Amino acid sequence: MHAHPDTMAILVTRDLTRAYGRFIAVDALNLSVEAGEIFALLGPNGAGKSTALRMLATLLPPTSGDAVIDGLSITRQANGVRRIIGYVPQMLSADGSLTGYENLMIFAKLYDVPSTEREARVAEALSFMGLEDAASKLVSRYSGGMIRRLEIAQSMMHRPRLLFLDEPTVGLDPIAREAVWRHIMELQKEFGTTIMMTTHLMEEADTTCSRVALMARGTIVALDTPDRLKSSLQMPGATLDDVFIHYAGSAQESAQNFKEISRERRTARRLG
Ligand SMILES: Nc1ncnc2c1ncn2[C@@H]1O[C@H](COP(=O)(O)OP(=O)(O)O)[C@@H](O)[C@H]1O
Ligand SMILES: [Mg+2]
């Protein structure tokens, strides 16, 4: 596969679709993410953001369509894709009964980091995420922000080119959120990692993302830079919250059901 001359897309989706029975959770998603971007999927609960990320991370097969990451198809070359991506799910993915160091060591082995390099890589990850002092503490005693930073460190052990983060700051207080963000931005700067993420915090997306896609009911209803989306409302002082309400507002009430609310609260509780 050759890169298109006028684009540096690291990810391109082609009618990416996931149905559950008759219900279409992600409906023919078409978008592309440029190398080095911090790109956010925004949208009400149930919009299909996590489903889209799980498909892109090769954890859930699409029912139709495909996506190409760095020239590799997520459906036909999933193993190759797994080597160049990292994924941090919405739910807990670190082992609370182990220390931070031990969790990172497991991921270093899982990702085939050569044994002679593991110690150094783990030490680097701990320092990069500001967890040196907590390295030998059990993760069950970490704060929510520390757990998130550890999970990001885990997903970076093999230095992926593209990192998927599903609600990396959900349930975190503003200080913990700031720390998570500072480290994500450093990753992006230091390693040129492309980030594709989801968040419910519009202000966070506004200040950190190069572009955002607003999803509702499985489809993209708006996609652009935060600034252009805000000016598209032709409303002085419009925020990304206004953009969200304008494009996804009507879908919001109907899409949020009890199951999603309880799931959301559960996630918030375990991190909070
Ligand atoms: N395993 C599943 N079986 C049936 N429906 C599902 C399953 N997973 C997700 N869904 C439904 O797909 C829709 C999109 O879910 P999700 O991708 O988690 O949304 P978001 O992350 O935007 O909140 C929701 O209506 C959800 O209930
Ligand atoms: Mg989700």
Ligand (nearest to CA of 167): 2
State whether the beta carbon of 49 lies less than 6 angstroms from ligand 1: yes
Cα-Cα-Cα-Cα dihedral sign, residues 108, 80, 46, 248: positive
Rounded distance, CA 43 to CA 221, Å? 9
Return the best residue to mutate from 17, 20, 166 for the ligand 1 pocket (most ligand atoms within 8 A of CB).
20
Helix (H) or strand (E) holding 68: strand 64-69
- pTM, two decimal places: 0.90
Helix then strand then coil, % of the chain, to nearest 5: 45, 25, 35
**Hey, is 10 helix, strand or coil?**
strand
Q: Separation of 48 CA from ligand 1 center, angstroms?
A: 6
Query: What share of the chain has pLDDT > 70, as a percent?
Result: 89
Q: How far is the CA of 116 from the centre of ligand 2 (A)?
A: 38
pLDDT digits (tens, 9 = 90+) for 73-116: 999 999 999 999 999 998 889 999 999 999 999 999 999 999 99
What count of residues does the chain have? 272
- Residue with token string 């031990």: 102
**Please, which pLDDT band fits residue 1 given cuts at 50, 70 and 90?**
very low
The pairing of beta strand 211-216 with beta strand 219-224 = antiparallel
Q: Which residue matches tokens 């390295």?
A: 135
Q: Is 90 in the pocket of ligand 1 (CB under 6 A)?
A: no
**Dihedral angle computed from the Cα positions of residues 222, 225, 226 and 229, in that order, rounded to the nearest 10 degrees:** -40
Q: Of 209, 208, 96, 200, which Cα lies nearest the Cα of 150?
A: 96
- Ligand 1 atom closest to the Cα of residue 255 is 25
Which phi and psi angles does 50 have, rounded to 5°?
A: -65, -40
Radius of gyration of the chain from Cα atoms? 18
Which domains does the chain carry? 9-89+164-271 (3.40.50.300)
Closest to 84 measured CA to CA, from 150, 191, 158 = 158
- Is 257 strand, coil or helix? coil
Angle, alpha carbons 42-72-120 (nearest 5°): 80
According to DSSP, residue 140 is labeled G
**pLDDT given for residue 133 in this prediction:** 96
Helix (H) or strand (E) holding 268, with range, is: helix 258-271
- CB of 121 within 6 A of ligand 1: the answer is no
19: CA distance to ligand 2 center in Å? 16
Q: Give 212-225 pLDDT, tens digit per residue.
A: 999 999 999 999 99
SS3 call for 209: coil
258 lines ligand 1 (CB under 6 A): no
Place of tokens 């304008």: 246
H-assigned helices in 33-133: 49-56, 78-84, 100-110, 115-128
Residue 187: per-residue pLDDT: 87
Which tens digit of pLDDT belongs to each residue from 46-67? 999 999 999 999 999 999 999 9
